[in-house]
Structure 1
């Protein structure tokens, strides 16, 4: 089937075989079944199958839901230049994520996350991930201290870690990171498999 015209983001709908193929590729990278993505979006499995084959139109709102369920943005679905292979990200170019005052959290791994997601965290003296412990999914997480020292509160128990130390735990266990020292600290979070977006 020939590609159909694609309207821009301001349009009501868009579809083509290349877009459908990218949706399928991202779904396969996330190891999601057609039914699992359809439930997460939410759309019908039949519609999603047709969309992946370039045989159905999708509203921008639907594409936003599909992209969100895949852990990517709508822009990723339209990026024809994205291809697997080495991708260099300079420290200054890392995407900055929302973080508590006195801390910075940047994304190191590139979406769509395949088998692992990696974040860097920087904490000024006295800074933390927030007042409350948090959870996200149920994956394996490793926290590695790159420089300085931090305290990881894991299910109410404190673990003091210095440069070179690491700790492994489940993301479903309430956790919180705090820098209780007088010097800045830098850490890495390594999560596998990636937690839901």
Structure 2
């Protein structure tokens, strides 16, 4: 069968690469083999509706996103009370602001209780550009491996930019709650 530029395959590849997700990672999440995903992306095979649903769920998109290349981007209003809440460290209330399908950027907001830290230890995720912005409160951001860590104290309106591949951690050092934003581009895989 000759390769095809039509069907869902090229769109699956497009969304997967935007997320910097490997074929193997997508296959694992979608409960398929890497060779099947590769053949699907090249238009050499077809997928059942069930398989396409697992793939779209893994990519954070809808079935319509696979087939409608001409649809304009839809404005998506997200009310503060309706933000999807993410599990985080104790005292960190993190919310997804950007809505699926995540394309070129992802944005998170968080409220940090006094003394709360984003993680017990510094962490990394992907290799994207990350901007951390303090809206209210006082936050200390540590960057770098533990042996060579640098601390940066930030107040309202202050921000810091770094690669998401650099170990990082933020903590509320103030006496009241802190509100912060993370802006990450491109969107990082789960």
Query: CA 1:145–1:170 in structure 2 vs 1: closer, same or farther (change >3 Å)?
Result: same
Q: In the TM superposition, what are the counterparts of 1:173-184 in structure 2 within 5 Å? A: 173-184=166-177
3-state SS of paired residue (1:135): coil
What pairs up with 1:56-95 in 2 under 5 angstroms?
56-58=46-48, 60=50, 63-65=53-55, 67-68=57-58, 70=59, 72=60, 76-77=62-63, 84-95=73-84
Give unpaired runs (5+ residues) of structure 2: 1-6, 28-33
Give the structure 2 partner of residue 144 of structure 1.
133
Contact persistence 1:30–1:113 (CA under 8 A)? no
Structure 2 CA distance for aligned equivalents of residues 115 and 40 of structure 1: 19
- The higher relative CO (CA closer than 8 Å, separation ≥ 6) is in 2
RMSD: 2.9
The residue number in structure 1 matching 2:180 is 187
Q: How many pairs does the alignment contain?
A: 168
Q: Matches of 2:166 and 2:111 in 1, distance apart?
A: 22
Q: Does 1:41 align with 2:26?
A: yes
Deviation at 1:123, TM superposition (A): 0.3
Q: TM-score, normalised by structure 1?
A: 0.72
* Alpha-carbon distance, 1:29 to partner: 4.7
CA distance in 2, matches of 1:177, 1:117: 18
> TM-score scaled by structure 2?
0.75
> 1:41 is paired with a residue of what secondary structure?
helix
Superposed CA offset, 1:24-68 (max 9, x none): 546435545xxx7644423322234448xxx62337467425642
